[in-house]
């Protein structure tokens, strides 16, 4: 006849088996639910990180308070943004460096407003080289495509060159150092608030040298400028006698 102790042992074994099965079912169910695609009609979030399977961040969507500064998302080394911090989207390359982004912001005060937005792509190990931008200062607008040249030096060296250049007087030596300190405007294609469409080509010091435009009246103009911005030649020649 089975003793009381044997009955209790058999009960405990059965209990242990059942409990193990229940835990296994719950674990597998939870794993299955986690791997399923989730659908939301609406979600409020201050920041979202898009990551690869290894956890590396590739894209950040953030409000302005939680938007990281320029830097490396892997090392966590960031610097302060020179421009106004704004909500937007940032992209990161395989090294973890920021390589582009989309931002937009606006402000109103004393009946006036300012607004701006930019979509920009960065060179490898450097800053932006192409972008679309909007600048709107209380109705005075400038919108268009920009192309920049960036120096082939590290960010740290750029900062040193910037400080050194601003200690020099304007001239060739300062200009040469500035080319290794910051991005230089090379091409602008866009329009301004006076309804003029413009294509401008710049030299390596961001000085406009060729400007092609069509104004609101449909009048075309082509101008060649020196480094100081003085018009050397213009077509059509305004001094020419107009035809009857």
Q: What one-character-per-residue DSSP string does 80-99 give? A: --SS----EEEEE-TTSBEE
| Number of compact structural domains in the chain | 2
Over the chain, what is the mean pLDDT?
A: 85
Q: How far apart are CA 219 and CA 103, in angstroms?
A: 35
CA dist list (Å): 144 to 10, 82, 89, 98, 180 = 81, 21, 20, 23, 25
Q: Is the pLDDT of residue 242 over 50?
A: no
Residue position matching structure tokens 């409990």: 19
- Mean pLDDT computed over 64-84: 83
> What is the phi/psi pair of residue 83, to 5°?
-90, 175
pLDDT score recorded for residue 190: 97
* Whether residue 19 is found in the same domain as residue 119: no
For residue range 9-42, what is the model confidence (pLDDT) as tens digits?
566 666 667 777 766 666 666 655 555 678 889 9
Percent of the chain with pLDDT over 70: 83
**DSSP class of residue 103?**
E
Residue 91 covered by a domain: yes
Q: Considering Cα of 37, then 40, then 41, then 45, what sign does the dihedral take? A: negative
The range of the structural domain enclosing residue 145 comes to 50-235
Pairing of strands 231-235, 98-109: unpaired
Q: How far apart are CA 196 and CA 207, in angstroms?
A: 20
Q: How far apart are CA 1 and CA 7, in angstroms?
A: 11
CATH of the domain at 183: 3.90.930.1
* Whether residue 58 is found in the same domain as residue 119: yes
* Whether residue 66 is found in the same domain as residue 8: no
Return the number of other C-beta atoms located less than 10 Å from residue 88's C-beta. Answer: 19
* Whether residue 124 is found in the same domain as residue 54: yes
Q: Is the pLDDT of residue 235 over 90?
A: yes
Pairing of strands 88-92, 57-62: antiparallel
Q: Report the SS3 class of residue 133.
A: strand
For residue range 148-204, what is the model confidence (pLDDT) as tens digits?
998 888 777 888 888 888 888 888 888 888 888 888 999 999 998 889 999 999 998
Residue 244 covered by a domain: no
Q: How far apart are CA 87 and CA 85, in angstroms?
A: 7
């Amino acid at each position: 006849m089975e003793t009381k102790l044997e009955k209790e042992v058999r009960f405990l074994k059965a209990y242990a088996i059942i409990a193990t099965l229940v835990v296994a079912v719950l674990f597998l169910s939870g794993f299955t639910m986690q791997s399923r695609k989730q659908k939301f009609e609406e979600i409020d979030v201050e920041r979202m990180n898009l990551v690869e399977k290894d956890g590396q961040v590739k894209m950040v969507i953030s409000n302005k308070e939680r938007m990281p500064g320029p830097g490396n998302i892997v090392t966590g080394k960031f610097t302060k943004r020179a421009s106004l911090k704004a909500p937007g989207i940032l992209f990161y390359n395989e090294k973890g460096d920021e390589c582009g982004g989309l931002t937009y912001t606006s402000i109103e005060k004393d009946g006036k407003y300012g607004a701006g937005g930019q979509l920009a792509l960065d060179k490898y190990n450097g800053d932006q080289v192409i972008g679309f931008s909007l600048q709107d200062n209380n109705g005075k607008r400038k919108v268009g495509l920009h192309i920049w040249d960036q120096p082939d030096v590290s960010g740290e060296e750029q900062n040193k060159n910037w400080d050194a250049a601003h200690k020099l007087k304007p001239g060739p030596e300062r200009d040469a150092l500035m080319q290794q300190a910051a991005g230089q405007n090379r091409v602008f294609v866009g329009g301004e608030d006076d309804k003029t469409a413009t294509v401008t080509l710049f030299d390596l010091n961001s000085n406009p040298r060729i400007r092609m435009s069509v104004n609101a009246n449909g009048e075309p103009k082509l101008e060649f400028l020196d480094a100081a911005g003085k018009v050397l030649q213009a077509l059509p020649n305004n001094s020419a006698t107009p035809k009857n």
